Amino acid sequence: MTNDKVAIVTGAGRKNGIGAAIARQLAREGVNVVAADICAPTSDLPNAGSAAWEELKAVAAEIEALGARSLAVKVDVTDAASVEAMAAQTKERFGRLDILVNNAGAAIGPGPVLLMAEEAWRRTLEINATGTFLCCKHALPLMIEGGNGGRIVNMASIAAEKPKPFVSAYAASKAAVVALTRSLAQEVAERDITVNAVLPGDVDTAMKQWGLQLESLVKQQPYEEVLASALARIPLGRLASPEDIAQLVAFLTSEGAGFITGQACNITGGRELS
């Protein structure tokens, strides 16, 4: 059974991705979901995890099959007008906003700083950090207008705290997301809006598989050895599933998390302990 709450989840178009898992989990808990993604051709955003429009619509259909209402929206989180339009569509369809999950992200052109293209650096920060900022800025008025408080969850990464070589742009962008989270949490606390960041470790997604394949190529090691090495760094001995991340996000957006704000919540299987 649905309730009146409405969530926006960006980067929700990939069926097997973290955003889609979050959207489905929120729907199971009765939340109506705006599923948003850029729906750009892979050639335009290599390794950004973008979904096709038909794939995004399929995720929205899954949400409705779970008993919640849904809306599929194309959005470019780096473009203020596009983000404003997403907020306007949300208001037109549902009349309110209670939850914002900034999940859209990318790792474009990773490599050593000496060889990294400036465009790769700029686009990575633009999508991950500026995109999160713009979505917060343009979604907050609708959330505040409702007068019922709200929840914002920003997707960061363990790379924000324990960056590895060759991912400087990605790590810097996710560290910026954590800093934004902690600052914004203080700004909106008086309105009963909480703001938290989620820091996944290694998650079994298409983007992670691409990262492992790239590492295999760079190190000239078989893929199986690179994967085994990654698993050896995780005390729980496995990659996270998108559903693992979705469960944490669902809690942080629930009534039970009303006294948690400004936090960077690791979900890594204990990887940062090793």
Known catalytic residues? 170
Amino acid residing at 163: P
φ, ψ dihedrals at 164, nearest 5°: -100, 165
| Residue-wise burial string across 128-144, b where 16 or more C-beta atoms lie within 10 A, e elsewhere | bbbbbbbbbebbbebbb
- Closest alpha carbon to 48 in 27, 22, 77: 77
Structure token digits, residue 161: 């705290």
- Closest alpha carbon to 47 in 250, 210, 224: 210
The CA-CA-CA angle for residues 143, 148, 154, to 5°, reads 45
| 240: β partners | 203
Structure token digits, residue 127: 């999508």
Contacts of 267 (CB under 8 A, 6+ apart): 198, 199, 200, 201, 240, 244, 245, 248
* Alpha-carbon span 94 to 60, nearest angstrom: 15
Please answer whether residues 225 and 232 qualify as being in contact, where contact means their C-beta atoms are separated by less than 8 angstroms.
no
- Closest alpha carbon to 32 in 68, 85, 66: 68
